[in-house]
Structure formats: structure tokens, C-alpha cells
Amino acid sequence: MSLASSVAPAPRVGAPARPWLRFAVRRLGRLLVSLWVLVTASFLMIHLIPGDPVRAALGPTAPASLVAARRADMGLDDPLLVQYWHYVQHLLTGDLGTSMISQLPVSQIVSQRLPATLQLALLAFVVAIAVAVPLGVSMGVLTRRGHGRRTELAFTTSSVVVGIVPDFLVGVALVYVFGVNLGWLPVAGNDTPDAYVLPVLSLAIGPAAILARIVRVEMVSVLEADFVRTARAKRLPARTIYLGHALPNALTASLTLGGLLLSGMVAGTVLVENVFAWPGLGSTIVSSILNKDYQVVQAIVLVYGVGVLVVNTLVDVALALIDPRSTIRED
Amino acid sequence: MIRRWRSVLRTPLGIAATALTVAVLVLAVVAPILWTDDANAVDTGNILAGPSGDHWAGTDNLGRDILFRTLVATRLSVELALAATAIAVVAGLVLGTAGFVLGRRPGRLVSAAINIAVAFPGILLALFFAVVFGVGATGAVLAIGFAGAPAFGRLTQTLVAGIESRDFISAARIAGVGRLRILVRHVLPNISEPLVVNATIGAGGALLSFAGLSFLGLGVQQPRYDWGRLLFDGISSIYVNPASALAPGAAVLIAGLAFNLFGESVAKGLGVGVVGGIPALPPVVPTLVTDEPLIEESHQAGTDLVLDVRDLEVTFPGARGPIRPVRGVSFAVRRGEAVGVVGESGSGKSLTALAVSRLVGEPGRVDASRLDLLGTDLRARDSRAQRQLLGTSLAMVFQDPMTSFNPTRRMGGQLAEVARHHQGLERRSALARAVDRLRSVRISEPERRARQYPHEFSGGMRQRAMIGMGLMGNPALIIADEPTTALDVTVQLQVLDLLQAIREADGVALVLISHDVTVVGEVCDRVLVMYAGRIVEDLPAAALSGEALHPYTRALVAAVPDMDTDLDQPLAVIPGRPVDPADVPPGCAYAARCPLASERCRVEDPALVPAGPGHRVACWHAGEPIDIEIADREEVRVP
């Protein structure tokens, strides 16, 4: 708060535009700083690896001349700052380097693999929200003010347990039940629509349970708020009170906490893809780490990181739309 | 400490989690001693066999027993998880206390770094570090440890911040004790408990993450094996022998859950009070004969009653039996009349208002022998007609206008909603009415204001908007519960003036609840004085100074400083404390604080009886002279 605004009330005309502007500037600033940290970290990754990454990738039998040539190609013999400068320059032009193993441009590998991962993450996101919000709201209404203690205990316990189970174990269990035992659904690849069911479920179930629990807790506390009493004093129908007044306020806090969860889903695809042989970035990064194809690893880490940052930013923007006060909040 | 641990063991989940954690730890110690040979024994006749009598969970591709391998793998899995957790905690402590040790500016930089790192999911950080530290068990321990560090760093930071401002830390600082020494001697011991609890939960997470990395082939490498590695080998043969994947999977799950839930149960350690149902209380003796008219004949009442309340009781369940904060309240409000309700906090005045307007929610219970608004019995079950009556004829104004509006919705919409639901107006015309109502409560530029959110309004403006919201219908009664308490003194008068003006213009009745006897005396025609959930006096506002009969009313009036108050003397207060609704004494509740109290007062509760025109009082010694000297000298404090 500036001195002026604390001394005298700021002119009201045009005032609503300013919190938004400040919010946008602040949020963009944080995004840029995080991006810079991410780019720097992914650049440093190759240099933090003990030994020569090129030698490691090509193996001990590769001739020294080939290693030297590759090192020269990649500019690994330049001073670190020069390399950093080139790295950032290349990134800005969309050049992610060349795979040391397959000799393909990394950008080509990434763009081939990215859509499958995006589909998986987005579908799981939608499923998690579609399950968690109605479940959390109805549980909140059912267990408000000490109602339904048994329901509350059962719901909380089961959602805690389900929330802890890591996505890849959910995946293994689903493979066993629906693939091996019942034989209803395919357990590998993404060739048919029904192949999406199990991977999406494995990714969505855990976050949905946690999110539903958060929504319930928020709902219960929002239902105690003064403005809900006001809404009741207006004698609005229960549906309007719960969905129109309580829900948007419950979502504010739920989204803040849920945001972390959802960005976790972006990275969660890595494990799930490996359970279901999903042809996305997750299976590629693991095979690239094992093959020591560091250029590819570096690029995919960057892509995942950007994905997380984008999700976090979108969550903050959604928050600002739902609850305009969050634009004023200092972080 | 011991008692708190015992309370952990009291919940079924806590018992189960503790037992599982102990079992996992014991298994980690004994399993490799007992079964290493069995786990490594190669049975070439039984390769990739399903479960059988010899091999309960079948065998792997070398014919080794899956069950024994899973059991033996407990030690390595737990060891690695604990090592990773230790790294995470230590690194987190360093990060989290850096601000405390280094001072403000470098501290801010560290916390910015933590904030950025925390935004990235653990698995991503773990992959990053796995690349840096190399594939294998050591690399994975370091990777998972460092990936967990930012979260622990933030936790430590929060805990340190919570304790930093405590007196004993400041005292140590003033005494010139070095920062590092303060940290080790004073700060860390005080945050160790939550840290240990979170480390336990963290160990569960590390166990699961480790299984994840090994499952990806990035963790433990052959010939060593942990659960993740077994799962990695087992998933490829899940069609041949499902148990080869399910057994290690189940082990990971059980151990991860055990640590996690054990930590959570310990965190919840302190017992949580349970609120049960409401056992029935015997009804209180009616404080007045029901047939007796509440308003005297001379006032020509009965036909134009807006509100008629008799024997109103509000009951809540309490830890030691039901609590009844409102114990039989009877009053009536006529058309256009302004009735004030005064009393100390806890006297039941706000609950009376909520009960009358049917806003006491569960688990509270409202009973009355009569509760009529405009001749309609409000005790009947919630119906559409009743909702419509209450929604349009009764307006509520609450104490805190800051929290009484929905922060996520525009003001205009919040007002318009009333008209849309109860008067069936279209969105546009409802909004037009809202703008009109805002104008009527003297809000300038109502069109623009209607598009704003509550936080863009000032406090007084919000309270006027709240009144405007009540005017969306055609209220016959406004119930205002401490409408000016949360406002600046300068704004209080505006709100009171507005209420007065509405009353005069439309003949709307007003029930004004306040702890401020002056406000009530100025605005209202009649005053109800409440004490410990009862009306102790009902008198014309004009009679407040001079003609009040109840010693409590007289004390309230005397406590107000006026122009004649001797400023050299301390302000008069009522000695003693208000009655706890959970523990109402027999007899007159005010007896303990009353200068006139006699033996009878402590035994027999006086009923509210007529004491002159428009005047009722509940006191055995109504109007008897009080020895002011004694009352004043007894426990006079400056508030």
C-alpha cells in the first residue's frame, strides 16, 4: 500500500481497474522469474552431471575423435556463460538441440510425444474436477454443523487412504482388475478410445480424492460464514445458497490448494505413462535417462516445468476471476 | 506428552496405523535375517509360476520366491526411504532457518527460492536430480531427498516465523546470544515436534516416491532389489503371474500408508470434542400467564401486531448437557414501533433475534408457545409460503457488514436476488429495483455501485446496502442486530438516521439489538432489557433514566457517562461477570451481582409482571432505593 492511499481514500473513479493491473504485473513477474530459474536449471543439468556427458552417452567404446566432434557440435568446450547465452538463444528460436543417440532434432521428438501426454493430463484433470467438486460439495452439505458424523468419518478416512495411493500403483491395480482379470479394457498404448480409460483413471483418482476432501472442508467452513447467514435471511432456496453463494467461496481456497495437486498431475503422467506404455513424454524421458540421451532429457524437463508453471498461472487467474479479492492479496 | 500419544492410540485409524508401522519396522529388521537365502534360492523347475503351496506368491523369471523377496525387500525399501527423508529434513532445516540465521535480506532471497521450488511437483524435481546424481540407489536417495527439501524448508520457515516473535527469543537476542546459538538452543527444540510428525508423513511419501523411481528403472539396480524394483520386474509378467506385481505393490502401499497415517494420527493427537444430540431439557416455567395481553388495551393492540413471541427458548447441545441461552422470552412488536433490546454480550439478545427470524441453525433448537409474524405461525415447517413471507416482510441487518455480503458476487446481484426469488422479477427489472433501493439508502451513483463487489464499498456504505437489501421486499419489520457496532462513530449516526427515516416513511417496525443503552434510548419507543436469556425489564424508552425499576437496568443506565459525569472519578461499571449460559444459578440470575439481592432472590426466580403502564419488570425488589455509595465503591474499575 502506498502512503497516499493510506492517508486519503484513493479516488474511486477507475479504481476497479488497478487491482487487476497490479495483479497481472505481479503474476507475470513471478512467472518470468520462475521461467528463468527453470531454464537455468535445465541448462545446468547437463553441466552438473559428473564426467563427460558425451562420453557417457556414446559409451566407453566410442572413438575419442567422435566424442571430440560431438562436444564441438554441442559447444561444450566454450566458456559456460557463452554456452548459456547460446542455449537461451536457441530456446527462443525453438531449437532444443539434437539427440545424441538418434541424431533427430529434439524439438521433433518433443512435438511428436507432447500431444499424447497433454491429452492424458487434460482428460485426467477434467475427470478429477468433475468428480471432486460435486462429491466435495454434497459431502460438505451432508456433514455441515456436525451432521452425519459417520458419513464424515467414512468419507474422510477413505479419501485420505485413496489420496495417498500413488498413481502408478492405482495403475497396476487397474491393469490387474480390468486388464488381466476381466479383460475389459486394453492396458497399453493409446490406439483406441477405450485405451484412455485406465490411464486417465489412474491419474485422476488420487487427486480427485484429495480435492474432494478439501472442497468438503472448505464447504463446511463457508457454510458457517456470515454471508451464508445473510443468504439464509433472504430465504433463498437451498440450492441457490449452496451452489450460488457457498460454492464459489469454497472454491477459492480449494483451488489454491488444488492448484498444487493439478500441477502434480502434469508430472504424474511420467509414472502412469510407464505403466501403460503410453507414447508420451513420460515414457520418452525415462528411456532417455537410461540411454543417457541428455539433450532429450533436458528438453522434456523443460517442457514439464513450463507445463507446471502454466497450470499454476492459470489457477491464479481462475482464482482472480472467481474471487476478485484475490487480486489484492499480496503473495 | 504421554497423554497425547495415548490419545493417538484411541482412534481406530490411529491404532491400525501404529500397529502397521511397528510391523513394517520389525519386518525391516528381521526379514533379511530370516529369509535372505529363501529369497535368493533359484527353483529352475518353477519359473514364472503362479501361487502354489511351495511359493505362495509364485516365482519370478529365475524361479525365485516372490513372497520372500518382497519380505526381504522391506529393509532396503525402508532404509532408502528413511535416508531420503533424513536428507530432505536436514536440507529443509538449512533452507528454512537460513532466513533466521542470515538476517532479513538474504533470508528473503532464500524464501523466494523455496517458493519457486515448491511450485514444482516432487516427481519432477526427483527426475531432475536423478539425472544429475546418476541412475542407481544412491542417486535416487539424493534425488528424493533434495526433491523433498523445499517442502520441509517451507514448513521450517513457517514454524520458525511462528516462534521468532515470542518473548523468550527476543529476550535471548537482547541478552546478546548469537543467532546460531538461539536457533539451536531455543528455536529448534520448540519446533521439533511438528517437524518429527511431518518427517514421519514425509517418510511415507519418500517410500512411495522411491518405489516410483525404482519402478521406472531409475532407482535400485539388480542384483539388489527393493519393492519398486520387484514391481518393475513384476509388471512385465503380470499376465503370467499377477502376484509378481501385486505382492510388491501391496507391500509398498501398506508401508506407505502406515507411515503416512501414523504421522497424520500423531498430528491429530489432541482429542477432538464430540458434540452429541440434544437431550430434552424440562421446559422452563412460563414467565407470564399466556392469556395476559402483552400490550395493554389502552394501546389498542392485538390487531396491528407485527411480531408476537411467547415463551421463546433456544437450546444448544453442550459438552456437559444442553445449554439454554434463551430461557423463555415473551414480547410483541406493533406496526411502526421501534423496540430496543439491550444487555451485555451473552445475554441472549442476538440469539433471540435469530430465533425470531428462524435463523438458528442446527444443532440449535427453538421452542415457543407462540411465534407469529404478521399473524402467520413461524413454528410450522418450512414452506414456500413461509419463506416468501419471511423473505419479503422481514429484513435482517447484521452486525458486521464486512463479512455479511458474499465477497465473490456483485452488490447489485446480491440485492436483486431477493426480488427474483420472491417477487418473480426478471434479472433486468430486479437489478433496476436493486439500483433504486441502493439510491433509497442514500448510496450515490447507485448504477455504478451495483456493479461493484462488497470489498469496494466502505463499511457504512455496506451497512446501508444491507438495509437496502432488506427493502427489496416490503418489510413490516426490520431486525437489526448491533448494526452500528462494527462501524466508525461518525458513520454510526448515518445508519441510525437511515433506519429512523425508513421507519417514519413506511411505518416499518424495528427491533434494534444493542449493547449500547444510549443508542437504544434515542432510537426506540420501548426497551427490553435482557439478562441471562430472560427479559428482566420491559419499559418505555423515555422511562430509562429515572423510572427504571430493575437494578440491572439502573446499573446499565448509570454506567453510561454523560455531561454530568465527574471526569475525575473512574467510570462506573457493573461489578462481577455475566452469567455463563451453561451454568445459570437457581433464583434470579442477577442476584450474584445485585446490591439489593436478598435470600429470596437466590432461591426463587421472579416472573416478569406488569409494573405500571407499558412497563413490566422481573425483580423481587423492583424500584427499591440502591445505596449508590456502596454500589459505586464496590469494585469500580476503568473499563
Alpha carbon A236 to chain centroid distance? Answer: 38
- Strand, coil or helix: B366: strand
Residue B535 pairs with which residues in a beta bridge? Answer: B530
Query: Does residue A225 fall inside a structural domain?
Result: yes
Q: At B613, give phi and psi (nearest 5°).
A: -65, 125
Show pLDDT as tens, one digit a residue, over chain A (331 residues): 333 333 344 444 444 456 778 888 888 888 999 999 999 988 988 888 877 778 877 778 888 888 888 888 777 778 888 889 988 988 888 888 888 888 889 999 999 999 999 899 889 988 998 999 999 999 988 888 777 788 888 888 888 888 888 888 898 889 888 888 888 888 777 778 888 889 999 999 988 998 898 888 888 888 888 888 888 888 888 888 888 888 888 887 777 767 777 777 877 889 999 988 889 998 899 989 888 888 899 899 999 999 888 888 888 888 787 777 666 654 4
A200 and A73 within one domain: no
Q: How far does the CA of residue A270 sit from the closest CA of chain B (Å)?
A: 9
Residue A103 included in any domain: no
Please tell me whether residues A134 and A35 are part of one structural domain.
no
Q: Determine, yes or no, domain membership for A108.
A: no
pLDDT, tens digit (0-9, with 9 covering 90-100), for B127-156? 888 888 888 888 889 989 998 888 888 888
**What is residue B606's DSSP assignment?**
P
Subunit contact B469:A169, Cβ cutoff 8 A: no
* Residues A164 and A219 grouped into a single domain: yes
Average the pLDDT over B111-120 and give the result.
Answer: 82
Please tell me the distance from the alpha carbon of residue B485 to that of residue B488, in angstroms, as a whole number.
Answer: 8
A143 and A79, same structural domain? no
Domain region containing A34: 18-92
Residue of B nearest to A320 (CA): B408
Contact across the interface for B127 and A235, Cβ inside 8 Å: no
Q: Which of B211, B218, B359 sits opposite A286 (nearest CB)?
A: B218
Within A49-142, residue ranges assigned H as helices are 53-58, 64-74, 80-92, 106-142
Task: Write the ipTM.
Answer: 0.81
Residue that is last in its domain, among A37, A58, A92: A92
Largest CA distance in chain B: 109
Give the per-residue pLDDT at A9: 42
Residues A126 and A269 in one domain: yes
Task: Note whether B126 and B150 are within 8 A (CB).
Answer: no
Let me know if B212 is exposed, middle or buried by CB neighbors in 10 A (0-12, 13-18, 19+).
Answer: buried
- Indicate the pTM of the whole model: 0.76
When pLDDT is cut at 50, 70 and 90, the band that residue B105 belongs to is: confident
Backbone dihedral angles phi then psi of residue B494, each to the nearest 5 degrees: -55, -45
Are B249 and A173 within 8 A, CB to CB? yes
Chain-centroid distance, C-alpha B200: 28
One-character DSSP codes across B108-166? HHHHHHHHHHHTS-HHHHHHHHHHHH-SSHHHHHHHHHHHHHHHHHHHHHHHHHHHHTS
Based on the domain organization, do A207 and A70 belong to the same domain?
no
Q: Which residues contact B595 (CB under 8 A, 6 or more apart)?
A: B551, B626, B627, B630, B631, B634
Q: Is residue A214 part of a domain?
A: yes
Decide: A106 and A296 in contact? Cβ < 8 Å.
yes
What CA–CA distances, in Å, run from A232 to A236, A239, B468? 6, 11, 16
Among B70, B123, B261, B457, pick the best mutation site for testing chain A contact (most A Cβ within 10 A): B123
Element (H, E) at B264: helix B243-268
CA distance B311 to B291: 12
- Identify whether residues A162 and A286 lie together within a single domain: yes
Are B537 and B549 in contact, with CB atoms under 8 Å apart? yes
* Phi, then psi, of B326 in degrees rounded to 5: -120, 120
* In a domain? residue A29: yes
Residues A238, A145, single domain; the answer is yes
CATH number at residue A304: 1.10.3720.10
Written as one letter, the residue type at A198 is L
**A28 shares its domain with A130:** no
How far is it, in rounded angstroms, from Cα B336 to Cα B506?
A: 8
Q: Is the pLDDT of residue B287 over 60?
A: no
Q: Is residue A83 a part of any domain in this protein? A: yes
Q: Indicate whether A71 and A133 sit together in one domain.
A: no
Residue B578, classed as helix, strand or coil, is coil
What does A240-252 look like in DSSP terms, one character per residue? IIIIIIIHHHHHH
Residue B270 has pLDDT above 50, yes or no: no
- Determine, for residues B235 and A41 on separate chains, whether the beta-carbon distance falls below 8 Å: no
Mean pLDDT (chain B) is 81
Among candidates A235, A260, A294 on the partner chain, residue whose Cβ is nearest the Cβ of B387: A235
Domain membership flag for residue A82: yes
Instruction: Please give the CATH number for the structural domain made up of B292-408+453-638.
Output: 3.40.50.300
Give mean pLDDT, residues B192-210.
Answer: 85
In 3D space, the residue among B618, B510, B532, B517 whose CA is nearest the CA of residue B578 turns out to be: B532
Which residue from B122, B131, B264 is facing A297, i.e. has the nearest CB?
B131
Partner residue facing B361 (CB), from A45, A145, A240:
A145
Residue A233 to residue B359, Cβ atoms within 8 A: yes
- Between A15, A145, A160, which is nearest B363 by CB? A145
Q: In terms of CATH architecture, what is B7-270?
A: Orthogonal Bundle (1.10)
Q: What is the tens place of the pLDDT at every residue in B539-551?
A: 998 888 888 888 8
The verdict on A125 and A78 lying in the same domain is no
In sequence order, which residues have a C-beta less than 8 Å from that of residue B30 and are 6 or more positions away?
A: none
For B479, phi then psi, to 5°, come to -105, 115
> For the range A46-54, what are the long-range contacts, defined as Cβ-Cβ under 8 Å and sequence gap of 24 or more?
A46/A294, A46/A295, A46/A298, A47/A80, A48/B132, A49/A294, A49/B131, A49/B132, A49/B134, A50/B134, A53/A292, A53/A294, A54/A100
pLDDT at residue A330 in the model: 44
pLDDT at position A18, please?
67
In chain A, residues with a C-beta closer than 8 Å to the C-beta of B409 are: 244-245, 248
The reply to whether residue A37 touches residue B116, judged by beta carbons under 8 angstroms, is yes
pLDDT on residue B6:
66
Note whether A291 and A101 are within 8 A (CB): yes
Q: Please enumerate in sequence order all residues whose Cβ is within 8 A of that of A216, keeping only pairs 6 or more positions apart, or say none.
A: A135, A136, A137, A139, A140, A143, A155, A156
- Phi, psi angle pair for A295, to nearest 5°: -60, -40
Contact B215 A274 (CB under 8 A): yes
Give B562's DSSP letter: -
User: Cβ–Cβ of B453/A226 closer than 8 Å?
Assistant: no
Q: Which residues in chain A have Cβ-Cβ distances shorter than 8 Å to B400?
A: 226
Shortest Cα distance, chain B CAs vs residue A80, angstroms:
17
Domain count, chain A: 2
Last residue of a domain, one of A58, A92, A126: A92
CB contact under 8 A, A328 and B455: yes
pLDDT at position B5 is 61
Q: Is the pLDDT of residue B569 over 90?
A: no
Q: Are residues A124 and A214 in the same domain?
A: yes
Q: Count the alpha carbons within 13 Å of B451 in the hemisphere toward its beta carbon.
A: 8
